[in-house]
Amino acid sequence: MAYWIRVNYDRKEYVVDLDRLSAFVCAPNGKITFWLPNSGIPIIINQQTDPEDYQQVFDYIQNVSAHALSGSWLQVSYERNDYVIDLNRISSFCHSASGRLTFWLPDSSIPIIINEQKDPDTYQKLLDYIKRKTGHILT
């Protein structure tokens, strides 16, 4: 079921289906960023300048984080931001000998690198997801 919102950004009006988005970034300064599917264009919503749009997107993020039936949404603190990512939309993972897991956010070129020592909980959740989804065990 589609969850459409209208957002004004950069002097343009967008109508976006939030259900088609794969990741959101919540910055501590009250900004939410997401990327338009198939375009890589980032949309940044500010809590102070766009409180209604911000609240709609924030409520959506809270809902998918709390009620994801498949358990595919993952919250990750990375580089002072909180990322909410639909792992079902990630198409590749890279595991290095140094104990780092890397994946790239769809519709952007941002790599997310999770270190086993710095974030063991998220690291293990990713390994479990990869095993459950692909059948492959990364060591």
3-state secondary structure of 69: coil
pTM of the model: 0.89
pLDDT in tens, 111-138: 999 999 999 999 999 999 999 999 999 8
Query: So what's the pLDDT on residue 139?
Result: 76
Query: So what's the pLDDT on residue 70?
Result: 57
Inter-CA distances, 14 with 7, 42, 43, 115, 133, Å: 5, 12, 9, 36, 33
Cα–Cα distance, 56 to 25 (Å, whole number): 15
Per-residue confidence band for 26, with pLDDT thresholds at 50, 70 and 90: very high
User: Domains in the chain, start-ordered, CATH in brackets?
Assistant: 4-67 (2.40.50)
Mean pLDDT, residues 69-78: 81
Per the prediction, the chain carries an average pLDDT of 90
Mean pLDDT, residues 8-25: 92
Q: Report residue 105 as tokens.
A: 């956010």
The residue that leads in pLDDT, 56 or 109, is 56
Residue 69 has pLDDT above 90, yes or no: no
Query: So what's the pLDDT on residue 56?
Result: 94
